[in-house]
Structures are given as structure tokens and as C-alpha cells.
Amino acid sequence: MTLTNWAGNYTYRAPVVHHPSTVPELQELVAGSPRIRALGTRHCFNDLADDPAALVVLDGLEAAPEIDADARTVTVTAGTRYGTLAQHLHPAGWAVHNLASLPHISVAGAVATATHGSGDRSQNLAAAVAALEIVGPDGAIRTVRRGDADFAGSVVALGALGVAARVTLDIEPTFDVAQEVHLDLPWTAALEHLDELTSSADSVSLFTDWTGDTIAQVWRKTRVTPDYRLRTELFGATPADGPRHPLPGIDPVNCTAQLGEPGPWHDRLPHFRMDFTPSNGDELQSEFLVPRAHAVAALEAIRSLADRIAPLLQVTEVRTIAGDDLWLSTAEGGDRVGLHFTWLPRQPEVEALLPTIEAALAPFDARPHWGKLFADEGRDLARLYPRWDDFRSLVARTDPEGVFRNDFLDRHVL
């Protein structure tokens, strides 16, 4: 069996992949495994989810989402994809606060890696977790709830504490969103008015290749209210005359509706539609998140490397994320700006460039996205997370035999 990730740049080493159909079956499987890791939808670009012994995939845990209207929560099995969750929530009048660019990713995988959408006031997807049911190394289920002593260390946990079986998320009443795209934003205006720009809608993404004097596209997603109006001008950028794909020359047919046409939250907050192949596929990704206070300096530092970045780049997306208190969240401790790189599939060259990018961003305490390519050559991540030692102690307590350890964790975390 040969199993690769979505991008095709990583081949999983595990000789066996389990697909339990019930939670008791999952518990029995974990209890009988000396080493095992959970594998999500494989939208990961490194070996975070891999192990040479065994993998378990949770897409067979069939169960409809359970909505608790009084508590304003929904409980789902860990392998549920956000797009599938939306198909249950929206008809019932509910929504989650935000979505990532792809609705194809699983809830547990997104939560475990602090995956995020965009928005000055929107925290990452893990911040919506109200409770987790985790299968530990002995097969027993440990439930952690918001407010518990270990909760903030158990949500973004990189699979190190066990296999999530079910996740409970906060929900809110459903809402409509309108998406607008503006073209050719002058870099001078973007740097001077960055705060005004990112606060001009509920979710804002800047797409650039770092060359030239302008940012190619600005995607703005706004919750529709009676006061909503199309924006005709945006700090020198002009409205697109038709739908756009973030990557130059790609047909926008697989993108969510634009041109200010209102639609349900789940049909606008992602960049890509659930019923189409997401993004481009033939790509690599990296992302670095810097404190909001350093955003302009970090953008200027990356612009200074444009001649080295551009030949390997498809596009960079710049987004904002509100801060949270989850120990290993890339937004722990305060608001962040994410610099997301979609690379050409030239991995040796990309990996050779990453230390240069990380060195340029080091003065700004940039944290790499856990599920994407990064170097961490000096094993430097510990200094960026105040609760790092607490997390390592939590892992030692919950998995003393290292059932859920793997090369990635040994290399970067434990």
C-alpha cells in the first residue's frame, strides 16, 4: 500500500492504516497498539501525522452531528469535514464562527494544528472547541472541557496526547456573507493602511508574489447586514470585473462566489468550494505567523527576499488571526498576521530557502504552521511558546510510554 498526502510530496511509511467504524473499535485498536498516530484528510505537508508502525483514519466513524441549541454547541466525530458539518448546521439555522480556505479538512486535524481562517476578530478554528474526547494509550476516553486545568494544552496538541474521537464546537446563528475581490493594491498603501485594510471586512486576504509595486488581489468577506454596500475603491485597488482564482491563470470555477453576491457563510468563508478539487493540488505550502505589532516590518523583510522567493512561488496569502490562550496555538498570547506561501512543487529548493525566510522573520518571533513545511534548524520553537514546558509535562503524564510519539514530535517538540 502506498499512501501519500494530498499534495503528493509526502509518502506515509506506516505499513497498515486502520479505519475503525465505532468508537469502541477505536479504543480497542489504540489499546492494542504499541505505536499509532491519527491521520486526517492528509492536507499536511510534513510528517506530523506519520509513524512507521500504524495509522488510524477516523472517516469511518459515522455519526450525524449532535446540535445542542441551549448550549450553542455541536458535537461531531473527529474525522468529520467542515464542509460536511456545514451541511448539517446551516439548514438547522446554525454556523461556526469561521472556516479555513478549504472546507475539505477534518475538524480534529484542523484543531490539532491550529489551522485558521482570516479576520481581525476571528480566532483560529481550535478556539471554537468546547470539549474533546481523547482516546489515550490504554484505550480509555479522557474528556477535557473548557475550564479544565489541562484544556488549553489539550486542544492544539499535535496528536501527542491521543486520538481524538469526538469534538464539541461552539456554534452561533447562521449568517450570510458577501465576498469581493479588488485588484492591484499599491504596496505603499498596504503598508501605510494595513490596520484599516484588514478591518475593512470580517475576513481579508492579500495575495501577492512579492514582486512589483502592487499586491495582485485583495479578497474581502463581509457578514451581510442591512448596511452592507459594495466597495468601489480600496486604498487604490479597484474591483475585479469577474471572478478570480488566487493563482494566476487558473480557472476560478472551483472558487466560492465573488462580486459581492450574498450567500450562506459556508459558501463564502472558504476560498474553495466543497464540491470541487481544492486550490491547485500540485503545490507545497509553508506559513509563518508573526505578532500583529510586527506585521509591517515582517512584510518588508520578506519583500527584501523577493528575488529569491518569486522563482519558487505560486502565491503568498497574508491574513490576520485573533489571539487565543491555547498553549501550542500559533496565535497564543495575541493577535497574529499569517504569511502563507504556496510553492511550486520543487521541494529541495523550497527546503533550502526556508532557513533564510525563518532567519529574516526570527526578529519578529514568527511561529511556523505545524502542518506545513518549515525548517526549525536551531530547534528554536521552545522560546516562542510560554507554556512549552507545561505541554511537554502534559505529554509525559498522559502518554508515558510514547504510544503517540513520532519523528516529528521528537524533532521539534519533545
Q: Kindly state whether residues 206 and 341 are assigned to the same domain.
A: yes
Cβ partners under 8 Å of residue 320, min gap 6:
118, 119, 120, 198, 204, 292, 335, 336, 337, 338
**Whether residue 181 sits in one domain with residue 147:** no
Q: 2: alpha, beta or left, given left = phi > 0 and alpha = psi -120 to 50?
A: beta
163 and 213 part of one domain: no
Q: Is the residue at 55 inside a domain?
A: no
Helical spans, DSSP H, in 200-293: none
Whether residues 184 and 293 share a domain: the answer is yes
Among 173, 122, 171, 129, which Cα is nearest to 147's? 129
Q: What CATH number should be reported for the domain holding residue 231?
A: 3.30.70.2520
The whole-number pLDDT of residue 1 equals: 60
In 3D space, the residue among 150, 33, 5, 52 whose CA is nearest the CA of residue 407 turns out to be 52
Same domain as 235, residue 225: yes
Tell whether 156 and 252 lie within a shared domain: no
The total number of structural domains in the chain stands at 2
Is the domain of 266 the same as that of 127?
no
Our measurement of the distance from residue 374's CA atom to the centroid of its chain's CA atoms, rounded to an integer in Å, reads 15
43 assigned to some structural domain: no
Q: Does residue 139 share a domain with residue 188?
A: no
Q: What angle do CA 198, 204, 205 make, to 5 degrees?
A: 115
Q: Is residue 311 part of a domain?
A: yes
Residue range 255-293, pLDDT digits in tens: 999 999 999 999 999 999 877 665 556 899 999 999 999
Write down the residue that cell numbers 510510554 correspond to: 401
Same domain, 120 and 76: yes
Helix (H) or strand (E) segment spanning residue 188: helix 187-192
Domain boundary among 131, 156, 174: 174
Report the predicted TM-score, pTM, of the whole model to 2 decimal places: 0.96
Count CB-CB contacts under 10 A for residue 63.
12
Q: Is residue 283 located within the same domain as residue 270?
A: yes
Query: Is 290 inside a domain boundary?
Result: yes
The domain in which residue 271 lies consists of 176-368
In a domain, 1, yes or no: no
Spacing of C-alpha 286 from chain mean position: 11
Can you say whether residue 309 is alpha, beta or left, with left for phi > 0 and alpha for psi between -120 and 50 degrees? alpha
388 located within any domain:
no
Among 205, 225, 206, smallest CA distance to 215 is for: 206
Contacts of 73 (CB under 8 A, 6+ apart): 67, 130, 131, 168, 169, 170, 171
pLDDT by residue for the chain (414 residues), tens digit each?
A: 689 999 999 999 999 999 999 999 999 999 999 999 999 999 999 999 999 999 999 989 878 899 999 999 999 999 999 999 999 999 999 999 999 988 889 999 999 999 999 999 999 999 999 999 999 999 999 999 999 999 999 999 999 999 999 999 999 999 999 999 999 999 999 999 999 999 999 999 999 999 999 999 999 999 999 999 999 999 999 999 999 999 888 889 989 999 999 999 999 999 998 776 655 568 999 999 999 999 999 999 999 999 999 999 999 999 999 999 999 999 999 999 999 999 999 999 999 999 999 999 999 999 999 999 999 998 889 999 999 999 999 999 999 999 999 999 999 999
In the chain, count H helices and then E strands: 11, 20
- Residue 150 sits in the same domain as residue 195: no
Q: Tell me how far apart the alpha carbons of residues 272 and 17 are, in angstroms, rounded to a whole number.
A: 28
Predicted local distance difference test score (pLDDT) of residue 250: 87
Distance CA 372, CA 339 (A): 12
State CA 85 to chain mean position distance.
Answer: 16
Nearest to residue 258, comparing CAs of 296, 218, 295?
218
CB-based contact 365:289 (threshold 8 Å) = no
Residue 383 belongs to some domain of the structure: no
Residues 216 and 320 in one domain: yes
- Whether 119 and 205 have beta carbons less than 8 Å apart is answered as no
C-alpha span between 385 and 330 (Å, rounded): 9
Residue 136 lies in a domain: yes
